[in-house]
Chain A
Amino acid sequence: MWQYFLKRVFWSIVTIFVIIIVNFVLIKLVPGDPVHAMIGDFPAPQDYIDQLRRDFGLDQPLHVQLWLYLGNLAQGNFGFSFANRQPVLDLILGRTVNTLILILPAIVFSAIIGIALSLAAASRGGGFDITVSAITLFGYSIPVFWLGQVLVLIFAIVLGVLPTSGMYSLRAPQSGFGAFLDLLRHMVLPLACIMAFKIAVFSRTARASILGVLNSDFVMTARAKGLSRGYTLWRHVLPNAVIPVIAVFGYQFGHALTSSLLVETVFAWPGVGQLFVTAVGQRDFPVLQGILLLSTILVVVANVLADLLYTIVDPRIRRSLGARHA
């Protein structure tokens, strides 16, 4: 079991390395002077350009350049954004919290709703099952950013009940419960957009795994004991069905990040997504590459954590890790 885990960690590192190579190759592929790719479309002082050439050995053979590139990354040098007048790493990390505020609740709530929906479908069957299939189909087909625009039109413009954009209101309290409530009001719509797709993903995964568990023999045992269907679903089916759903949590994290990227700009939410979209417009390449690398690292870490969680939840694996119980 530990071996499996170490293997996963090893492949996570390989994944991060692959993205670093992709970044490196992209710099080389951008038409024109590679220095241009490392600065972006922004007039930079000649001093800085010369320093970049020296730091990254741009006149040296490719493998030396790659080595220097890796060395710079290892020291946390992700480049400098002239558009924002800030080192890339500081810039992105400063925005990460705002994005996590959206993503983490979105994943947790979607998981709960998605699993609950599939469970309800499993216990009722018939019409409920069709409803869940429809929700899944719609969730997979809606462009999230467009959903955001429609929600803004309906809730902010027509009904006027929720704020159109941003994270805080100017007149709202700066701290305490009032501030929290204000944040919640701003969160509702972007959260709803990210969740629309997430709920679809979770209910699809959960539905497949619940159907699998419902066909297992121990459900027959539960019936033979004279247990009610509701109790059986809750105590026997659910715990077994949730395990594979947890296993894909890390993967869900990557999806949510993508949705957030597209949704933040609609709501002017000051997170990594908005930074990304601005950087696209400004052709601020170091920021784009930094976001790609950091989001990869985030997703990879989330995957390893999901693996750990999985081993904690499933007694079959947990016990073999402990290996003391007979």
Chain B
Amino acid sequence: MTSPQAKPLVEISDLHLSYTMQRATIQASRGASLTIAPGEAVGLVGESGSGKSTLARALLGLNDPKSTRIDSGSIFVDGTDVTRFGERDWRVLRGSSLSMVFQDPLSFLNPVMRIDRQIVEAIPKSMRAEGVSERVDDLLRLVKLPQAARRSYPHELSGGMRQRVLLAMALASKPKLLVADEPTTALDVTTQAEIMDLLGELRQRLGMAMLLISHDLGLVSKACERIYVMYAGRTVEWGPGSSILKTPAHPYTKGLFDSARALRLPNGLFATIGGDVPNLAHKIEGCPFRMRCPLAMPKCTTMSPATQVLGQDGHWVRCWAAQDSGIAPAQGNDVKNA
């Protein structure tokens, strides 16, 4: 229906993924679906432990191949199914189409290697013809880092500068998609704004798509055209940023908004979502959010909510309450967003 006009750059459909940690099996993705069109900015929102980082890493094949398994579903990148990719195939893809920046820029940089060397490594062989040093200059200019930073070690730079270094490395291969996993969480507010501005500017200039992952709905809604909300390993609501902002349909999304706006309740307390994210090591029957949901009903305990569309602009939700309260017209159950 509202499928993106062009062929999607990334298409994740009903992904189920699990990994083992200390003999426990964690089902980190339990039906996650997501599409990104070329050049599009997409946000992925959820609390920590909702499986959003694992999903992002699965998109780049960065989860430890020995302990992680894709149980079902598929990931298409640029029309190619990457679910069965080996490490060698991934390496080619990461060196060209896909790049990623991470949350804590200090620990994600090698502490005993100079900045320029780390950036040079990220430049693909095919782009080294026109001179590696010049390319490093370009990249530093692109992320607005002074040339003096070249010979520094990571610990000598500020948090914002380190994040720019990570960004420069990510841009070195001229990727079609930049995945930014909580890129500003470790930074102070001013630096946060600078990095977000830079991200937006670079995206425009380079025409690349971006997947921005954050727990901060406000931040994401400013920077992204479409937003996915993730809970307990599955995408529970998605659609255009404006539509989700105006009419959030899933009770979880509403809860996120209320806590993001620091909404003061009549009793004087700040609104928060009560309870904890469910343990992803356990099997969950029905809707995973029902334990914390103000609108939970008997049906939610037994049946997993179907996916349904809200309106014509590609706004989707997975919630029984959203349907029964009459917000949404009933729809077929097996619809996927594509």
Direct A–B touching, Cβ under 8 Å = yes
* A314 located at the interface, meaning its Cβ lies under 8 Å from any Cβ of chain B in the complex: yes
* B20 located at the interface, meaning its Cβ lies under 8 Å from any Cβ of chain A in the complex: no
Q: Using A217-B102, A217-B107, A326-B156 as known contacts, say yes or no to A225 and B112 having CB atoms under 8 A apart.
A: no
Contact residues, A119-139 vs B (CB, 8 A): 125
**What is the CA–CA distance of A236 and B107 in the complex, to the nearest angstrom?**
13
Nearest-Cβ distance from residue A317 to partner chain B, whole angstroms: 10
Segment from B74-82, B88-96, B305-313 that makes contact with A: B88-96
Contact residues, A217-265 vs B (CB, 8 A): 217-218, 220-229, 235-236, 239-240, 243
* B166 located at the interface, meaning its Cβ lies under 8 Å from any Cβ of chain A in the complex: yes
Q: Are A240 and B110 interface neighbours, CB within 8 A?
A: yes
Q: Are A236 and B94 interface neighbours, CB within 8 A?
A: no
Q: Are B94 and A224 interface neighbours, CB within 8 A?
A: yes
Q: Are A217 and B104 interface neighbours, CB within 8 A?
A: yes
Q: Are B108 and A223 interface neighbours, CB within 8 A?
A: no
1/0 contact string of B155-178 vs chain A (CB within 8 Å): 110000000001001101100000
Q: Are B62 and A224 interface neighbours, CB within 8 A?
A: yes
* B9 located at the interface, meaning its Cβ lies under 8 Å from any Cβ of chain A in the complex: no
Q: Are B91 and A224 interface neighbours, CB within 8 A?
A: no
Chain B's interface size range is 35 or more
Chain B residues whose C-beta falls within 8 Å of the C-beta of A325 in the assembled complex = 152, 156
Chain A residues whose C-beta falls within 8 Å of the C-beta of B113 in the assembled complex = 235-236, 239
* B60 located at the interface, meaning its Cβ lies under 8 Å from any Cβ of chain A in the complex: yes
Nearest-Cβ distance from residue B260 to partner chain A, whole angstroms: 27
Q: Are B122 and A225 interface neighbours, CB within 8 A?
A: yes
* Complex: chain B residue closest to A318, CB-CB: B153
1/0 contact string of A295-326 vs chain B (CB within 8 Å): 00000000000000000001110010000011
Partner of B94, one of A225, A235, A319: A225
Contact residues, B90-119 vs A (CB, 8 A): 90-96, 99-100, 102, 104, 107-113
Q: Are A226 and B173 interface neighbours, CB within 8 A?
A: yes
Partner of B110, one of A224, A236, A319: A236
**What is the CA–CA distance of A222 and B268 in the complex, to the nearest angstrom?**
48
* A169 located at the interface, meaning its Cβ lies under 8 Å from any Cβ of chain B in the complex: no
* Complex: chain A residue closest to B107, CB-CB: A217
* A15 located at the interface, meaning its Cβ lies under 8 Å from any Cβ of chain B in the complex: no
Q: Are B108 and A314 interface neighbours, CB within 8 A?
A: no
Chain A residues whose C-beta falls within 8 Å of the C-beta of B138 in the assembled complex = none
* A216 located at the interface, meaning its Cβ lies under 8 Å from any Cβ of chain B in the complex: yes
* B87 located at the interface, meaning its Cβ lies under 8 Å from any Cβ of chain A in the complex: yes
* B240 located at the interface, meaning its Cβ lies under 8 Å from any Cβ of chain A in the complex: no
Q: Are A319 and B153 interface neighbours, CB within 8 A?
A: yes
Interface CB pairs A-B, < 8 A, 27: A216-B107, A217-B108, A221-B102, A221-B169, A224-B60, A224-B94, A224-B102, A224-B170, A225-B95, A225-B121, A226-B91, A226-B92, A226-B96, A226-B124, A226-B173, A228-B91, A229-B87, A239-B110, A239-B112, A239-B113, A240-B112, A315-B155, A316-B111, A316-B112, A319-B155, A325-B152, A326-B148
Q: Give me the interface of B with A, judged by CB distance under 8 Å.
A: 60, 62, 66, 87, 90-96, 99-100, 102, 104, 107-113, 121-122, 124, 148, 152-153, 155-156, 166, 169-170, 172-173
Q: Give me the interface of A with B, judged by CB distance under 8 Å.
A: 125, 216-218, 220-229, 235-236, 239-240, 243, 314-316, 319, 325-326
New A-B contacts (4) at CB < 8 Å, excluding given A217-B108, A221-B166, A240-B110: A224-B100, A226-B94, A239-B110, A240-B112
**10 closest Cβ contacts across the A-B interface?**
A226-B95, A226-B94, A217-B107, A217-B108, A225-B122, A218-B110, A224-B100, A226-B91, A221-B108, A315-B153
